[in-house]
């Protein structure tokens, strides 16, 4: 496998590690708003919880963005550009991830053991995460001389493998989120929601369920329909399914944001604004910008 192909594959594998944790934390934010102890939080902690929820949505958006650009712009071909996009996106995603983690620790530890310990724990772990994630990487980059990488057409086998890897980037987190959404339907907190929030949550659940189905389909088609054989036709079908899965996933995330923020702040208008901002951000990163970039490059 050429060096560039291998590095793109490695970047995708690293994204899988990051996004699973991000989407599980996203599910925690959603589930946390329905726990009995959530009603005991003060107004500041509730606002911080909503802020951390939005930050985690940004993290997920940044981590999935390289896969969407790889499918839409590069059509599965390995390139120095997509490798750079994956590197920058992963680095940017770690910032809201660290901040959201620190906020979560402040909220839960501060609630149980006092604000002083909560602030100490939240700030310490956010700083520790940023130092470990960026400090050593920055020192490595300043001393590293980048070797030029030769771009060559990516083989069909590699493109199929990378497409399936990109499906696996999104799938585990979507499955975890679906589990949180299903469990919320059985909580007492769900009964206290307004009718619109109940409808939105059910809509978001259906969107994430559709995402899971779409992301599992390429592997099913590959094994059952093609007997594991790699073909250009299968690659096109699989790529379209992965791209299509991003649309209901964005809608599901935005719906969850609306429900949790509206409940946390007791302010549906704020939930609507944050949900719209989340939907616009994810649609822009995953669909609108990649298709615009492909059009400008082909033109």
Task: List pLDDT tens digits, range 6-39.
Answer: 888 888 888 888 888 898 889 888 999 998 889 8
pLDDT in tens, 88-100: 999 999 999 999 9
Q: What pLDDT score was predicted for residue 13? A: 86
Residue 151 dihedral angles phi and psi, to the nearest 5°: -90, 130
Q: Lowest mean pLDDT of 46-50, 72-76, 169-173, name the range.
A: 169-173
Residues 96-109: what's their mean pLDDT? 96
Please tell me whether residue 188 adopts helix, strand or coil conformation.
Answer: helix
pLDDT at 39: 86
Q: pLDDT of 166-216, one tens digit each?
A: 998 899 889 989 999 999 999 988 998 999 999 999 999 999 999 999 999
What pLDDT, on the 0 to 100 scale, is given for residue 188?
A: 87
Q: Tell me the average pLDDT of the chain.
A: 91
**Long-range CB contacts for residues 200-206, cutoff 8 Å, separation at least 24:** 200/255, 200/258, 200/259, 201/255, 201/256, 201/259, 203/251, 203/255, 204/251, 204/252, 204/253, 204/254, 204/255, 204/256, 204/259, 205/178, 205/181, 205/252, 206/252
Cα dihedral 251→253→256→257 (10° resolution)? -110
């Amino acid at each position: 496998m050429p060096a560039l192909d291998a590095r793109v594959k490695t970047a995708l594998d690293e994204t899988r590690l990051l996004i699973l944790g991000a989407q599980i934390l996203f599910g925690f934010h959603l589930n946390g708003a329905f726990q009995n102890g959530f009603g005991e939080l003060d107004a500041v902690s509730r606002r911080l919880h909503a802020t951390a929820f939005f930050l985690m949505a940004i993290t997920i958006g940044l981590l999935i963005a390289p896969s969407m650009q790889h499918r839409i712009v590069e059509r599965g071909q390995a390139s120095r550009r997509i490798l750079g996009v994956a590197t920058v996106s992963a680095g940017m995603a770690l910032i809201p991830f660290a901040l959201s983690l620190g906020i979560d620790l402040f909220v839960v530890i501060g609630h149980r053991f006092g604000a002083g310990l909560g602030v100490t724990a939240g700030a310490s772990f956010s700083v520790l995460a940023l130092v470990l994630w960026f400090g050593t990487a920055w020192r490595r980059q300043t001393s590293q001389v980048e070797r030029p990488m030769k771009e060559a057409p990516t083989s069909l086998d590699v493109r199929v493998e990378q497409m399936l890897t990109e499906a696996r980037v999104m799938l585990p987190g979507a499955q975890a989120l679906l589990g949180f959404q299903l469990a919320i339907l059985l909580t007492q907190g769900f009964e206290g929601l307004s009718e619109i929030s109940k409808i939105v949550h059910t809509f978001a659940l259906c969107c994430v369920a559709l995402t899971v189905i779409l992301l599992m389909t390429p592997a099913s088609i590959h094994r059952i329909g093609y007997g594991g054989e790699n073909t250009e036709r299968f690659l096109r079908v699989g790529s379209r399914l992965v791209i299509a899965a991003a649309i209901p996933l964005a809608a599901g995330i935005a719906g969850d944001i609306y429900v949790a923020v509206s409940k946390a702040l007791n302010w549906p208008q704020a939930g609507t604004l944050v949900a719209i901002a989340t939907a616009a951000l994810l649609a822009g990163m995953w669909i609108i910008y990649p298709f615009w970039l492909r059009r400008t490059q082909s033109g």
